[in-house]
Structure 1
């Protein structure tokens, strides 16, 4: 969930709440996670890197679904410490590395996953560096980068997403690349207040293609058919996030 040293401090104290949000807010499990798993497909035997892994929830999920080896990487020491403790308590086979997402990674991975990473780039240079890191981590042509990013067309109305456990607060109705957005959530007696940034679809595609990816595909989130699809109707009508697949 974290990205660079400059923004990493946002997340050092949030690992527990981030992890528990999957249990408290159904959208994380029934829409976000379901969408990610749908985009990933079968990961059995794939070498996988979870870039900006946060508390390690998705890292461990990749390992549990058969990816090997699986590495989680994050620039926030608090997140990595928490992820390592959770792995020690319930081993999945994943390992965790403290490293910023703007630092290159030697290739060798079949798959790179980044959930809620790119929006925390504060400048285009940082955004492009994250994309370049993802590309450098992949072992060669045809390998994939799967990421969850803020939907440039997310609902601007105050309180639109509060029924789902959070809110995205834009400084104005018209946003420009790099503009800050406030993400606010309260649960379990704690508060999550972090500041992602707006990046247009064209800018995101430009950064990915400049990093060396050949094809970029955008996916609308999908709801687990076993979940309360009626509850998520407005969420899916104007989703706050989209899934992006970039192929090397």
Structure 2
């Protein structure tokens, strides 16, 4: 059982209400554009939020992969209702088989769940094996946490503890919803991700800051200025 088997539908709320998620979605949509062509693979798909975004923009076939059977079950329930033709697969990305040749892969908060460098390399290798030689991987990965000197509470996620480990620190965190939802992830450095990507078969790795959306009734311009000064995450783009 994974932590998301237990979190289940409560995690879904963070994708539509949390400030950091609003930045993630806006940035991803800008990077992908309005029209996609070719097969797409969404890793750590959860209940299918990004997966459906890919289908809505014209990608096809679209596949979503997640290690959590509970999250995939939620995604399949939505697919039954919407009928977008999305295939959902329960698999650890580190052990994912070749599901097809894809022009695009997305991975929103995947690599921060790799507990070792070997697992991290295996994730990138499995993604590369599923990509066309002209394809690209668009990932969103958390930046190193400012904890304990600072935190990301204003953006609806918080780090509560950093647990040292041999290869990578484990962060104990929570989504700040109406009732906080606890979760854990690993604090990989940017250079660790870059090395794993190259070891996994990617030739180029680029980093981009996330873009904040226009201010609205929920999220003010002042909040987005704060985010830009202490961003939760960054975008990683890898090509063979």
Shared fold per TM-score greater than 0.5: yes
Change (3 A) 1:15 1:65: farther
Map residues 230-241 of structure 1 onto 2, 5 A cutoff: 230-241=222-233
How far 1:177 moved relative to its partner?
4.6
Confirm whether residue 246 of structure 1 aligns to residue 238 of structure 2: yes
CA contact (8 A) 2:42 2:106 kept: yes
- Partner in structure 1 of residue 162 of structure 2: 171
Pick one of 208, 211, 214 that aligns with 1:222. 211
In structure 2, C-alpha distance between the alignment counterparts of 1:77 and 1:85, rounded to whole Å? 12
Equivalent pair of 2:158/2:176 in contact (CA under 8 Å):
no
Match of 1:4 in 2: none
Q: Which residue of 2 aligns with 1:135?
A: 128
Distance 1:206 1:42 in 2: 31
The count of residues paired between Structure 1 and Structure 2 equals 236
Q: Which one of 96, 120, 123 corresponds to residue 116 of structure 2?
A: 123
Query: Are 1:181 and 2:167 counterparts?
Result: no
Displacement of 1:38 in angstroms is 1.9
1:209 aligns with 2:198: yes
Distance 2:39 2:156 in 1: 33
| 8 Å Cα contact 2:124/2:197 also seen in 1 | yes
* C-alpha distance 71-43 of structure 1, shift in aligned 2 (>3 A): farther
Secondary structure at 1:114's aligned position in 2? strand
Aligned-partner Cα distance in 2 for 1:134–1:163: 33
Give how far 1:102 is off. 0.8
1:200-246 deviations in Å (ceiling 9; x for gaps): 11111110011111110011110123543322211221111111000
What is the alpha-carbon distance in structure 1 between the residues aligned to residue 202 and residue 112 of structure 2? Answer: 19
| Contact preservation (8 Å) 1:177, 1:200 | no
Higher strand proportion: 2
Distance 1:55 1:158, change over 3 A: farther
In structure 2, C-alpha distance between the alignment counterparts of 1:136 and 1:97, rounded to whole Å? 16
Supply the distance in 2 between the matched residues of 1:43 and 1:158 (Cα, whole angstroms).
42
User: Tell me, which stretches of 5 or more residues in structure 1 are unaligned?
Assistant: 1-7
2:76 to 84, 94, 97: 84
2:215/2:224 contact within 8 Å kept: no
Ranges in structure 2 where 5+ consecutive residues have no aligned partner: none
Following TM superposition, by how much is the alpha carbon of 1:69 offset from its aligned partner in structure 2, in angstroms? 0.7
Supply the RMSD in Å over aligned alpha carbons.
2.1
2:17 is aligned to 24
Aligned to 1:81, the other structure's residue is in SS state: helix
The 1-side partners of 2:35 and 2:83 are apart by 18
Q: Is residue 141 of structure 2 the alignment partner of residue 149 of structure 1?
A: yes
Match of 2:25?
A: 33
Indicate if the aligned counterparts of 1:168 and 1:184 stay in contact, CA closer than 8 A.
yes
Provide the TM-score with structure 2 as the length reference: 0.90
Quote the residue 2:66 is aligned against: 74
